[in-house]
Structure 1
Amino acid sequence: MSIRSPKQVLDAVVEAGRWAPSVHNTQPWTFAVAGEEISLRADADRKLSVGDAAGRALLISCGADLFTMRTVMRCEGYEPVVRILPDPDRPGLLATVEPGEQVKADEPTWVLGGEIERRRTHRAGFADVPVPEQLIESLVKAAMSEGAKLTPVRSPDAVSVLAALTQVAQGVQVQDQRFNLEVIRWARPPGSTRTDGVPAEGYPREAALTEPHFPQRHYSWRHGWGRAGDQNETVTGVVAVLTTRGDNREEWIAAGQALQHALLYASAHGVSAAFHTQALEIDLLREFVRLELCAGEYPQMIMRLGVTFDAKDVPRRPVSDVLE
């Protein structure tokens, strides 16, 4: 395969960057190209002012985007040269990426690149299909290579605690009208042509209960949208927590890169993720999780991993919307 020009590479990187996962599918990023350098910027207009006041989820989302960009650049035959938070006077500039020396992508990189548009977030229980232990170990290594720690929760008691904390957080949040309005801002009605947010077919009206139960977001709050739940998908799956040693902006971006590395690897082996960040959006509950369940490390994501046969399309903004 011939090496493409730097411009063709940059076009491919921006095109693929749109497919990274993000909180509520807000896609809170923009790109700018100057010469052979791409700037990844946070889109403050897409930040969740109620549920993500500190911008942690926004930066995790953009970190996932950054890993996507790096992966595509390697697949295109160039080693990415990355600078993270390169300008303290421009906090919205999260990273710059430019093609470095020419390289030949290895097979694992090609596998990850092939999953960028296929990976899907799941929002219900999983099928009764076990996740191989060897795969979990590989996901742990993938996250570690990006500077974060992915820990599968082995203790049934600890899983029950996380489920209970998720239920508590959800119960608190549904009493907050501002929070609910912010969530349903990103819930799309049936037939919507919007290219962001969570489409009605992307979440169940009433998800089948798992044991223990990890509640889903109330995207259907007061309007009854959503698809019929699959009553055959009731398995909790493997519960895992993604943590970092610190809790600053650079650590949040690292967590996003680790998350996307693990998600793409999992997708290549038929495993999807369901995210549960409710407890991490309430400071007291997040601190409890940190001290009691994460050995003092900072929890950045709580997720369930499992197998689903529910394939669905997800909207993505066109390049013209994200390229400045």
Structure 2
Amino acid sequence: MSTRSAKQVLDAVVEAGRWAPSVHNTQPWTFALSGEEISLRADVGRKLAVSDAAGRELLISCGAALFTMRTAMRCEGYEPLVRVLPDPDRPALLATIKAGAQVEADEPTRLLGAEIERRRTHRAGFADVPVPDRLIESLVRAAMSEGAMLTPVRSADAVNVLAALTQAAQGVQMQDQRFNLEVIRWARPPGSARTDGVPAEGYPQEAAPTEPHFPQRHYSWRHGWGGAGEQSAAAIGVVAVLTTAGDSREEWIAAGQALQHALLHASAHGVSAAFHTQALEMDLLREFLRQELCAGEYPQMIMRFGVTFDAKEMPRRPVSDVVE
């Protein structure tokens, strides 16, 4: 059982929450401590106004932070008591969390907690190392336990469709200066001291092609930053789609929790994920995917799981920046 003070526990939970993944590493959250309760709030100034006008990706990012905090609290020896969207009059207040009864964290929870600071998003192809089917099945169960569905795409035709739609969306976005400027706003130059966004060493100038090709974001647009990357073709990994039955704000938060549960579990077994949300940022393509490939469920994330031996450090805003 925990022997730490309530303040030490809450500080540790907030520290963990800031390590969650977020679109373009925007880290669009703040935390407020009041007594023995933490409030998770959306930092709407970090919302992607062009590609995420509805705030769907922002809430998925914050949902990932919420699951991270829940995991950290269990690792600290307390059952988390969570309320999601507790106040309709305060839309930026996404959740509250406080410590409930003391519990002993089980081995799966400790395994997830150990990956909170180690997990990394990958932005290139993968090594030619297979991902075990049993691991993918466990990722599916992890997402399901949080109220979402993670579906590995086994059909080659369906993978080709997802790749083609990602290419199409990327091509359209590249013609729109607003999209390009929004992406490079979060691309960091070499040597930058900023603690958000994607650092130059975190993405390749030119990603190695996969077959079929899933394009990466053009963080290097017009400036040539980024790592050298691999020149030969890279493995595609296992393509998967995360969906929810509905498309409400609550379900976006649930999708983020499901995503982070799967990511931490994958990381514990040496597997990383690359994200491809371009097609989901265009309403017509997202609706096409929902009807034609997702059996009417709402696609919230397209990703690839694979093995990489090239983990990059990713900056995080200091606690003083995110705690109100």
Tell me if both proteins adopt one fold, taking TM over 0.5 as the criterion.
Answer: yes
Counterparts of 1:258-273 in structure 2 under 5 Å?
258-273=258-273
Counterparts of 1:146-165 in structure 2 under 5 Å?
146-165=146-165
Cα pair 2:205 2:225 within 8 Å, conserved: yes
Does 1:195 find its partner at 2:195? yes
1:126 corresponding residue in structure 2: 126
Give, in angstroms, the shift of residue 4 of structure 1: 1.3
In 1: Cα distance, 2:262 partner to 2:168 partner: 28
In 2: Cα distance, 1:231 partner to 1:265 partner: 30
Residues 322 and 232 (structure 1 numbering): CA distance in 2 closer, same or farther, change over 3 Å? Answer: same
Give, in angstroms, the shift of residue 231 of structure 1: 3.4
Give, in angstroms, the shift of residue 2 of structure 1: 4.2
Counterparts of 1:240-319 in structure 2 under 5 Å?
240-319=240-319
Cα pair 1:119 1:267 within 8 Å, conserved: yes
Q: How many residues align?
A: 324
Does 1:25 find its partner at 2:50? no
Cα pair 1:59 1:249 within 8 Å, conserved: yes
Structure 2 counterpart of 1:28, one-letter code: P
Give, in angstroms, the shift of residue 139 of structure 1: 0.1
Does 1:38 find its partner at 2:38? yes
In 2: Cα distance, 1:286 partner to 1:47 partner: 19
In 2: Cα distance, 1:319 partner to 1:295 partner: 42
What do the CA deviations read for 1:146-187 (whole angstroms, capped 9, x no partner)? Answer: 000000000000000000000000000000001100000000
The share of aligned pairs that are identical, in percent, is: 85
Paired residue secondary structure (1:108): helix
In 2: Cα distance, 1:169 partner to 1:29 partner: 27
Cα pair 1:128 1:233 within 8 Å, conserved: no
Cα pair 1:243 1:297 within 8 Å, conserved: yes
Give, in angstroms, the shift of residue 285 of structure 1: 0.2
In 2: Cα distance, 1:207 partner to 1:55 partner: 28
In 2: Cα distance, 1:95 partner to 1:207 partner: 37
Structure 1 unaligned regions, length at least 5:
none
Paired residue secondary structure (1:302): strand
1:180 corresponding residue in structure 2: 180
* CA RMSD between the two structures: 0.7
Cα pair 1:23 1:61 within 8 Å, conserved: yes
Cα pair 1:127 1:232 within 8 Å, conserved: no
Does 1:114 find its partner at 2:114? yes
Structure 2 counterpart of 1:17, one-letter code: G
Give, in angstroms, the shift of residue 234 of structure 1: 0.3
In 1: Cα distance, 2:227 partner to 2:117 partner: 22
2:102 corresponding residue in structure 1: 102
Structure 2 counterpart of 1:11, one-letter code: D
In 1: Cα distance, 2:224 partner to 2:233 partner: 21
2:81 corresponding residue in structure 1: 81
Cα pair 1:243 1:299 within 8 Å, conserved: yes
In 2: Cα distance, 1:307 partner to 1:232 partner: 16
Cα pair 2:209 2:232 within 8 Å, conserved: no
Residues 135 and 298 (structure 1 numbering): CA distance in 2 closer, same or farther, change over 3 Å? Answer: same
In 2: Cα distance, 1:2 partner to 1:144 partner: 29
Paired residue secondary structure (2:40): strand
1:70 corresponding residue in structure 2: 70
Give, in angstroms, the shift of residue 311 of structure 1: 1.6
Structure 2 unaligned regions, length at least 5:
none
Paired residue secondary structure (1:38): strand
Structure 1 counterpart of 2:194, one-letter code: R
Structure 1 counterpart of 2:109, one-letter code: T
Paired residue secondary structure (1:305): strand
In 2: Cα distance, 1:307 partner to 1:204 partner: 17
What do the CA deviations read for 1:88-126 (whole angstroms, capped 9, x no partner)? Answer: 000000000000000000000000000000000000100
Paired residue secondary structure (1:49): coil
1:50 corresponding residue in structure 2: 50
Cα pair 2:126 2:308 within 8 Å, conserved: yes
TM-score by length of 1: 0.99
Structure 1 counterpart of 2:248, one-letter code: N
Paired residue secondary structure (2:266): helix
In 2: Cα distance, 1:264 partner to 1:19 partner: 11
Structure 2 counterpart of 1:125, one-letter code: G
1:139 corresponding residue in structure 2: 139
Give, in angstroms, the shift of residue 233 of structure 1: 6.3
Cα pair 2:2 2:102 within 8 Å, conserved: no
Structure 1 counterpart of 2:189, one-letter code: P
Cα pair 1:127 1:233 within 8 Å, conserved: no
Cα pair 1:233 1:308 within 8 Å, conserved: no
In 1: Cα distance, 2:154 partner to 2:57 partner: 26
